Amino acid sequence: MTRFNALTLLANALTGNRNWDAQWPEAQPRTEYDVVIVGAGGHGLGTAYYLAKQHGITNIAVIDKGWLGGGNTGRNTTIIRSNYLYDESARLYDHSVDLWEGLSQELNYNVMYSRRGVLMLAHNVHDVQSAQRHIHANRLNGVDNRWLTPQECKAYCPPLNISPTARHPVLGGALQERAGTARHDAVAWGYARGAAARGVDIIQNCPVTEIRRNPDGSVAGVETGRGFIKAKRVAVSAAGHSSVVMQSAGVRLPLESYPLQALVSEPVKPVLPCVVMSNTVHAYISQSDKGELVIGSGTDQYTSYSQRGGLPLIEHTVAAICEIFPIFTRMRMLRKWGGIVDVTPDRSAIISKTPVPGLYVNCGWGTGGFKATPGAAHTFAWTIARDEPHPINAPFTMERFRSGRLIDEAAAAAVAH
């Protein structure tokens, strides 16, 4: 097994060198930890950071089958917002936005958080009614959101086509100005550096094959591709694979995994000042600091662990973007990819203890995982350290699927999945 200091990981990541073992010597990790976290993405590394900083638990190993931030954290479309409909969701995502705004200072690392606003377009009467319902619900929860007329949408986002003869005419939009974007992999690097500085071990290229239990049913540790690691507590935060890992401990999760597609264009000078989302045409777009247009699509219509996605869905998305922004019709696609998202029956996450003593899970985020990174990590660390839910994540328990107290955010992504 190999342990790496986060500064080492950062240097390699910045130079594009992922051959960690060739440059850095083997180090013998401990065979026993207080906490083992499965998944070295933003959520897993953030959880380790908050466990160490706020709860004084530093004997932690964060284990990943690949490299740091190489899963969904490095494949998402970087959008941050909290304009969700239900009270429980609004509290969780707004808590995340609060943390996002000070995260660069917290970690002493620039995560490139950009408060540029998210504009959610309405193209028909149903969209208008749904958007205004969200606005009223958000205001009741103290979340900023306001309605814009088509002309105000155009003023906020000049490239937008608001012609009344368009196939999908813009009837208005809901704007959350506090929303924005961040650099996805920088979040993982910042949390990794902060966690490593507090004594957390980050172990890469080490797949977890089984969660083992003691005779009394409690967690014993994890079996990995490089040996057994004993642990008092195990926390699973592995997007796209949580259900597989948890099943080895006898815990079934109500999850389905789908590819979620996205692409980026060739880089251009700054042209798009905000994030624009549309439910009707099933697409969303922003511009990265490198100048690429980052375009998100919907989930594929079949379950899969593929990280490629399918071309027809991308064609539909690009056609929709070109209708809303005709000036982008001559842009060229630079690359496309697919991430794997776990989806629960109510399209809301699970941040919860499990029936197995000492086993915890953070999963089921669907399209909301990146924007929730700091808030989910913060509340998950609380849950692990105190063996009880934080008040914010208490509604997101596994037990809600038995009791029927669901948090139905099926249309919250603005690209109705």
Q: The domain spanning residue 169 has which CATH number?
A: 3.30.9.10
CATH number of the domain residue 388 falls in: 3.50.50.60
Domain count, the chain: 2
Rounded-to-5 percentages of helix, strand, coil across the chain = 30, 25, 45
Same domain, 201 and 142: no
Per DSSP, the three-state class of 41 is coil
Q: Which of 38-52, 357-371, 399-413 is the least confident region?
A: 399-413
307, 322, 343 - which closes a domain? 343
343, 365, 380 - which closes a domain? 343
Average pLDDT value for residue range 353-374: 95
User: Which residues span the domain enclosing 287?
Assistant: 118-177+256-343
Is pLDDT at 4 greater than 60 in this prediction?
no
- Entry pTM: 0.91
Same domain, 205 and 233: yes
Same domain, 123 and 260: yes
Percentage of the residues of the chain whose pLDDT score is greater than 90: 73
Same domain, 33 and 124: no
pLDDT score, position 308? 66
Give phi and psi for 5, each to the nearest 5: -70, 145
Give the model's confidence band at 103: pLDDT under 50 very low, under 70 low, under 90 confident, else very high: very high
Same domain, 339 and 264: yes
Same domain, 326 and 349: no
Average pLDDT value for residue range 47-65: 97
Is pLDDT at 377 greater than 50 in this prediction?
yes
303, 327, 343 - which closes a domain? 343
Average pLDDT value for residue range 11-17: 46
pLDDT score, position 1? 39
pLDDT tens per residue, range 252-309: 999 988 888 889 999 999 999 999 999 888 789 999 999 999 998 877 777 877 766 6
Same domain, 244 and 155: no
Same domain, 240 and 275: no
What are the Cα distances from residue 341, in Å, to 18, 48, 49, 110, 309?
24, 22, 24, 26, 12
Residues 6+ apart with CB under 8 A from 178: 82, 97, 115, 117, 144
Average pLDDT value for residue range 170-190: 96
Same domain, 15 and 42: yes
